Structure 1
Amino acid sequence: MPRSERSPLLLAGLLAAAGAAHFAVPRQFDAIVPKALPGSRRMWTYGSGIAELALAAGIASRRTRPVAAKAAAAFFVGVFPANVKMAVDWRHRPAPQRTAALARLPLQVPLVLWARGVARGGEGRS
């Protein structure tokens, strides 16, 4: 399978795994939901998990891939505040955890670019 055909499936797999994790271990996701959001943290955890699973399904299908990949790019931008909250909350944790939380911040950029590339029908590069 050429790289350009694998890229959307890998992105869909990443989103599906992340979405499933929201249901398997919701507590860790509850902790990074910004307090300013209305409703319960668990509602946001499950809602974002559902969104990731829906995005994964949309990207896996060639017919819906362009729209779903654009939505995934927007989703990656939208969850950035949760990653910032995690980095701030974890600033006093042991170095490996602190490093992981900080590493998530710049990771959003390649995820957004990957999703945009998939939306364009490319290999995930923009």
Structure 2
Amino acid sequence: MPFTWSGRATQTLSATALSALLLASAMKHFREPAFFYQVVPDFLCCDDSGARPNGPYAVMTRDEWVALSGLLEAGAAVGLLIPATRQPVAWGVTAMFTAFVAGHADALRRAYGPAGTPGQRKVHTARLPLQVPLILWAWSLRKPFRPAGTRCVPGAGQ
């Protein structure tokens, strides 16, 4: 029996691939947290003692923000694999990637500032635009798969 590639299979493969990417990123958050330090805006961070905030939104240290985002990515990776949770998780991942734009923009701003290095400029110049395809990828998974020609009619089948 030949295999026919369906829209459902495409969506499942796409969700699995994004899940794998999120899981790899989550693991990196815990193996190499310093890699993510520059994309956590200063105004969100208390100093390491947690005693002196850098801004009114500073509620956690940079390490805690990195760990929290790693946990969110790991949870999202699992949620995307479960068809029943895929839709709300895809909305959440879209929002998460969109929120990350602020951190990437701040890191890019600092990279081109007086303390920035050529390496930081290259990395952050590449990282910021990569958020766009990630946002669109997560956005594409937010609707449940429906075969072509079917409609969702409220109250149908009751």
Residue from 46, 67, 74 that aligns with 2:67: 46
Structure 1 spans left out of the alignment, 5+ residues? none
* Alignment: residue pair count: 121
* Corresponding residue of 1:93: 117
- TM superposition shift of 1:111: 1.1
Deviations 1:86-126 (A, max 9, x none): 212223422x542331122222121111111111246xxxx
Distance 2:17 2:27 in 1: 15
Output the aligned Cα RMSD.
Answer: 1.7
Distance 1:4 1:65 in 2: 10
Structure 2 spans left out of the alignment, 5+ residues? 45-57, 146-158
Query: Is the contact made by 2:30 and 2:70 (CA closer than 8 Å) also made in structure 1?
Result: yes
- TM superposition shift of 1:47: 0.4
Structure 2 residue matching 1:20: 3-state secondary structure: helix
Distance 1:103 1:27 in 2: 18
- TM superposition shift of 1:17: 0.8
Are 1:36 and 2:56 an aligned pair?
A: no
* Corresponding residue of 2:138: 115
Structure 2 residue matching 1:119: 3-state secondary structure: coil
AA of the residue aligned to 1:30: Y
Report runs of 4+ in structure 1 exceeding 4 Å deviation: none
Are 1:67 and 2:88 an aligned pair?
A: yes
Query: Bigger radius of gyration, 1 or 2?
Result: 2
By relative contact order (CA 8 Å, sep 6+), the higher-ranking structure is 1
Matches within 5 A, 1:2-41: 2-37=9-44, 38=58, 39-41=60-62
* Corresponding residue of 1:81: 102
TM-score, normalised by the number of residues in structure 2: 0.70
TM-score, normalised by the number of residues in structure 1: 0.86
Deviations 1:33-75 (A, max 9, x none): 1111112111101000000001111001111111101100000
